[in-house]
A and B are shown apart, each in its own frame.
Chain A
């Protein structure tokens, strides 16, 4: 009977045990090295001193080969020299890189520096050009392609409110903001971010579902990314050219903070990232 009484007291303790807090898991996930790390790098086409100067419209000026097997091929898009990026996956056989949707490129990838690069587009004549191959010198878990699982918008004003979106579709987010009395442009394209690549050559690249991409350079200092992104007037300005990297529950969180123009309201965008491969 003593046992029964012990059990009764222990039963009374059950709710206490259920009320225990879950221990947060903020450790960095144990991620394997991306499959294409040894083949990754940046090809800057043309003489090293003037990579994109005076290049004709349509010409290839750079190729970013990422650690996760994605390529970003930059072409001159207009007379102003604007570069537009097209993306896809690549595979490697010796010195030949097969770029899905473009063709192939051949160069000596054993070392960085000046290389002879042969461009072999699927449609068009092959071309041999001078290029500079920049190989990553540092490694970091964050240098890989990431899938955007979720986007969290947070607005700090009279109170702090937030909204979660699966993935990151610009049109969906803009429509939500407009419906809730926030300024958002109407001409937002129906575009989703399919991946965010952070490369060892310090490029931050957003790839979209229509096959195009936007690229910026960055530098990594601890868990802070300092990026160089072209500012466009969109009703808000970025507080600083920084993004914070955190790890939580096996995911990577990339948070960019901003401030609404002429207002005390500030906000942030957090991308919840999981490795693409």
Chain B
């Protein structure tokens, strides 16, 4: 919460101070491995441009695996199994504040900034779960994580330098193109970089006995107890996701 307040304060300060220095501005839309986005950009002199925007990838780019099955009764692993398709999708939902530095007169630039908001970057959705999974589940901090209507959703998250509920993912990248061009009303930019999101972890929605819902973190210890050997798998496969490669393209229209 302290991180979130500090970032909010800094950004509000920026919002108040930067417009005075803005010489030209443009509005853009983009698509990339961080979802679809809208950005408002401002040229702060000939060598620096500021990009502020919002990106979302919830529900975009998914695949369904049909070979997953679960026991009909979670407490009876040797009993009858039921096929439950698993759909995996991107899940980003975050704001961004990026500075593009142009070292020369060309359109080549170095981008530095951060993506901030929900730590979630991928969603896994199990469907057609047997009715027992609507009744029972894992208890995390008095929140019961279970399916609703046969659907159980979990998120793969990265918090970067933020918290479990508010991510601050620093971004560093290079790109070609200018969001704000002096002599052109429309401009195009391509960026390639990486977000540092730290060691990924899982979150899911839990419910108190009174029905209050909250997103809770499923610790490795909890998952290790549920799926023996989980920590080994996590170290082996999730380690690749400490850095999220970000390739994006944007089209901008100059406002003034």
A11/B54 in contact, CB under 8 A:
yes
Interface residues on A, range: 35 or more
B212/A13 in contact, CB under 8 A:
no
C-alpha spacing A4/B255, complex, angstroms: 10
- How many residues of B are in contact with the other chain, CB < 8 A? 56
A182/B75 in contact, CB under 8 A:
yes
B94/A249 in contact, CB under 8 A:
no
In the assembled complex, A158 has its CB within 8 A of some CB on chain B: yes
Q: Which residue of B11, B138, B146, B211 contacts A12 across the interface (Cβ within 8 Å)? A: B11
**With A1-B19, A1-B25 in contact, is A12–B208 under 8 Å at CB?**
no
- A24: min CB distance to chain B, Å: 7
Q: Which residue of A21, A154, A248 contacts B208 across the interface (Cβ within 8 Å)? A: A248
In the assembled complex, A15 has its CB within 8 A of some CB on chain B: yes
A5/B22 in contact, CB under 8 A:
yes
Q: Which residues from chain B contact A138 at a C-beta distance below 8 Å?
A: none
Main secondary structure of the interface of B (DSSP, over half): mixed
Q: Which residues from chain B contact A21 at a C-beta distance below 8 Å?
A: 1, 165, 214
Closest to A154 in B: B139
B74/A180 in contact, CB under 8 A:
yes
Interface positions, chain B 85-109, Cβ under 8 Å from A, are: 93-97
In the assembled complex, A31 has its CB within 8 A of some CB on chain B: no
B211/A9 in contact, CB under 8 A:
no
A160/B139 in contact, CB under 8 A:
yes
Interface positions, chain B 126-179, Cβ under 8 Å from A, are: 132, 135-140, 144, 146, 165-166
Q: Which residues from chain B contact A15 at a C-beta distance below 8 Å?
A: 54, 93-95, 116-118
- B248: min CB distance to chain A, Å: 16
A24/B165 in contact, CB under 8 A:
no
- Rank and list the top 6 A-B pairs by shortest CB-CB distance, nearest first: A180-B75, A15-B117, A8-B40, A2-B19, A12-B95, A9-B15
